[in-house]
């Protein structure tokens, strides 16, 4: 027997969810034949067989999460090819010292062995009072051991409870109350795939970015009665603004407290799907014509919905566009994902009243929100970037 372990899938990914087995136990497979389709935080990929042979066992079912380095398939016969077999996962658990030999029991001693207490037992009339202990230094919550045990038995996280006891102590009634609420709302849904990746990215943004948002309206009066492709005009405006203020087309190094200004605009475009949010990259948008950009946008949306976006199209963007207005909404405070330092969000085009030559005129307007990382970008740079976008969008073509 030989065991094939889940190989390193790249991008620092440590686990994958089994989406579909492409073989079954007892099948004879060829080397490089797809064995299983797995879903990572980034995409859906097929894992090929490292060898030819007969499958003795499949480890895990559809929906199970397998860590890199854990058993995936057991083959009958020889070992997998060293070029494809994954290295076993390294355990970080400290080695346990061997248990000392049991000492002989003496009179008056109590030896606990397999849960049975033997030997002499002492008795007294002392009343033991349970002491309140803290739950997590950050939370600062206090709870008695019996209440802690109750929470454990009911599977209630103590850190989500608002205490009602004196001096902020969590009571048994508090635990029962939260348990009832959780029972009504149903079981916890663990985030997977794109939604888990989004949650992790948002946590990183919260921890590393100092966001500030500017908002304004682009006046589209010169566009005429037939509205143009709004997304393509937004891309052109971002390219124009990045040439005017390159500080926003940059990467910020959190560890070194430094920035890298980038010549080309590799635009990250937020794509909404039922599985979660994807940010796909369109390379060098400043040197592509409208037809190339539209083809790229259409392909990106299709690939994101089908989970077939190549890994290289999910990384390397230098600034981000979120055109959320097609779903509704006016302004936003979009979130910057490091190492980028800026994101543009466009709301829904609407009719607005503007002042023109001292007169009130109705015109289509496009609300824009620009969030920038104030560690890397000054307020003046951001304001000039947004002004350059407004200026470009006000042009007829």
**pLDDT in tens for each of the 397 residues of the chain?**
899 999 887 655 678 889 899 999 999 999 999 999 888 776 788 899 999 999 999 999 998 888 888 999 999 975 554 434 433 333 333 334 333 334 334 333 333 333 333 344 445 555 444 455 555 433 467 888 889 889 999 989 888 888 888 888 999 999 999 998 888 887 778 888 888 888 888 999 999 999 999 999 999 999 876 667 999 999 999 999 999 999 999 999 988 999 999 999 999 999 988 888 889 999 999 999 999 999 999 999 999 888 888 888 888 999 999 999 888 899 999 999 999 999 999 999 999 999 888 899 999 999 999 999 999 999 999 999 999 999 999 999 8
Q: What is the pLDDT, as a whole number, of residue 196?
A: 85
- Coil, helix or strand for 210? coil
Cβ–Cβ < 8 Å for 214, 347: no
Q: Does domain 194-393 have CATH number 3.30.559.10?
A: yes
Rounded Cα–Cα distance for residues 167 and 164 (Å): 9
Locate CATH 2.40.50.100 in the chain. 2-76
Backbone angles phi and psi of 209, in degrees to 5: -105, 145
Q: Which of 360, 351, 391, 107 is nearest to 227 (CA)?
A: 351
The DSSP symbol for 314 reads G
Residue 330 and residue 346: Cα distance in Å, rounded? 8
CB contact at 8 A, 25 and 90 = no
Give this prediction's pTM. 0.64
Token pair in block for residue 373? 């990382």
Q: Cα dist. 301→46, 210, 227, 304, 309 in Å?
A: 21, 30, 22, 5, 9
Domain 133-185 sits in which CATH superfamily?
A: E3-binding domain (4.10.320.10)
Phi, psi of 314, deg, nearest 5: -120, 10
Alpha-carbon gap, residue 280 to 143, rounded angstroms = 47
Asked if 9 contacts 69 with a C-beta cutoff of 8 angstroms, the reply is no
Q: Which two tokens stand for residue 312?
A: 């290289």
Residue span(s) of the chain under CATH 4.10.320.10 come to 133-185
Give residue 360's pLDDT.
93
Which run of H or of E encompasses 368? strand 359-373
CATH 3.30.559.10 residue ranges for the chain: 194-393
- What per-residue string of b and e applies to 101-135 under the rule 16 or more CB within 10 Å gives b? eeeeeeeeeeeeeeeeeeeeeeeeeeeeeeebeeb
Q: Report pLDDT for 234.
A: 97
Contact 374, 209 (CB under 8 A): no
What is the pLDDT, as a whole number, of residue 96? 40
- 3-state SS assignment for residue 392: helix
CA–CA dist 280, 306 (Å, integer)? 13
Which pLDDT belongs to residue 108? 37
β-bridge mates for residue 368, sequence order: 216, 346
Report pLDDT for 81.
45
What's the burial of 137, exposed, middle or buried (CB within 10 Å: 0-12/13-18/19+)? exposed
Q: Residue 112: what pLDDT?
A: 36
Estimate to the nearest angstrom the gap between the alpha carbon of 280 and the chain centroid.
Answer: 14
For residues 318 and 300, give the distance between their C-alpha atoms in angstroms, rounded to a whole number. Answer: 17
The candidate with the shortest Cα–Cα distance to 76, out of 4, 126, 145, 146, is 4
Spatial separation of the C-alpha atoms in residues 71 and 59, rounded to whole Å:
6
pLDDT, position 190: 84
Task: State the fold for domain 2-76.
Answer: OB fold (Dihydrolipoamide Acetyltransferase, E2P) (2.40.50)
**Distance between alpha carbon 262 and the CA centroid of its chain, in Å?**
25
CA dihedral 279, 283, 288, 292 (to 10 degrees): -60
CA–CA separation, 15 vs 190, rounded Å?
A: 14
Burial (CB count <10 Å: 0-12, 13-18, 19+), residue 283: middle
Determine how many CB atoms are found less than 10 A away from the CB of residue 385. 26
Q: What is the per-residue pLDDT for 194?
A: 80
Give yes or no for a contact between 326 and 345, defined as CB atoms under 8 angstroms apart: no
């Amino acid at each position: 027997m030989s065991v094939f372990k889940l190989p390193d899938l790249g991008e620092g990914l440590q686990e994958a969810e089994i989406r579909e087995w492409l073989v079954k136990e007892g099948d004879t497979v060829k080397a490089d034949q797809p064995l299983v389709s797995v879903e990572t935080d980034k995409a859906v990929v097929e894992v090929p067989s490292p060898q030819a042979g007969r499958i003795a066992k499949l480890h895990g079912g559809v929906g199970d999460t397998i860590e890199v380095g854990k058993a995936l398939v057991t083959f009958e016969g020889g070992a997998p090819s060293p070029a494809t077999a994954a290295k076993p996962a390294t355990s970080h658990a400290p080695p346990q010292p061997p248990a000392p030999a049991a000492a002989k029991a003496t009179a008056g001693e109590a030896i606990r062995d397999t849960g049975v207490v033997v030997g002499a037992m002492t008795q007294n009339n002392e009343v033991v009072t349970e002491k309140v202990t803290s739950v997590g230094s950050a939370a600062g919550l206090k709870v008695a051991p019996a209440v802690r045990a109750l929470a454990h038995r009911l599977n209630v996280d103590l850190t989500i409870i608002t205490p009602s006891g004196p001096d902020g102590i969590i009571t048994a009634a508090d635990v029962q109350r939260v348990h009832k609420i959780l029972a009504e709302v149903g079981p916890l849904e663990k985030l997977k795939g794109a939604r888990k990746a989004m949650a992790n990215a948002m946590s990183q943004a919260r921890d590393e970015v100092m966001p500030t948002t500017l908002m304004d309206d682009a006046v589209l009066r010169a566009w005429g009665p037939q509205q143009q492709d709004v997304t393509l005009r937004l891309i052109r405006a971002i390219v124009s603004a990045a040439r005017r203020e390159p500080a926003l087309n940059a990467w910020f190094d959190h560890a070194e407290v430094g920035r890298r200004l980038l010549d080309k605009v590799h635009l990250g475009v937020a794509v909404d799907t039922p599985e979660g949010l994807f940010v796909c990259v369109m390379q060098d948008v400043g040197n592509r014509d409208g037809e190339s950009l539209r083809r790229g946008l259409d392909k990106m949306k299709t690939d994101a919905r089908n989970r077939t976006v190549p890994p290289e199209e999910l990384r390397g963007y230098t600034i981000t566009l979120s055109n959320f207005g097609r779903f509704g909404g006016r302004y936003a405070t979009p979130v910057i994902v490091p190492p980028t330092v800026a994101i543009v969000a466009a709301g829904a085009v609407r009719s607005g009243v503007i002042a023109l030559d001292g007169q009130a005129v109705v015109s289509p307007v496009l609300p824009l929100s620009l969030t920038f990382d104030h560690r890397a970008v000054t307020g003046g740079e951001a304001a000039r970037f947004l002004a350059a976008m407004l200026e470009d969008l006000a042009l007829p073509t």
